[in-house]
Amino acid sequence: MAIKLLIDPVQSFKKTVAEIAYKLILHANRYANPRSLDDEAQAEMCSDFRNLSSQLMSAHQLIPGYKLSAKLFGLPNEKNVVKASKNLIALHNGHQGRLANQGILNCYSAQRVREALGIYIPEGEYLDPEHEVVRAKNN
């Protein structure tokens, strides 16, 4: 019974991380090319990322002795959980009309979420501003 009190919340947390990985891939075309919130798909994506940020923080809170549990189960540290949550909120807020280079900023936010949660980033998809030319679009 005591093990169940630890294992179930850890599994719930890992399911949330898996859902985040899924939604980052599913919505990549939308956050890289943001539209206004009048666009139904854009509004759905924004809602998904805010909900996932909330789910991540609540799943984190359910794990007893998180610092020790994180080491035992290979979970991200608390600082990285907060970092991922903040970047999911940034994706929620990253719709058209915010900034000229919003799509690029959104891609970096998605990458920071992946890094913070230990979600695999394929070699060719890693963004490195030192080796890329980034141009803002004209409005």
Q: Residue 31 and residue 102: Cα distance in Å, rounded?
A: 8
Please indicate, yes or no, whether the overall pTM of this predicted structure exceeds 0.75: yes
Q: Is the pLDDT of residue 27 over 80?
A: yes
Instruction: Identify the three-state secondary structure at position 106.
Output: helix
Instruction: Identify the three-state secondary structure at position 34.
Output: coil
pLDDT tens, 106-137? 999 999 999 999 999 988 888 887 766 555 55
Q: Residue 56 and residue 86: Cα distance in Å, rounded?
A: 11
Residues 6+ apart with CB under 8 A from 22: none
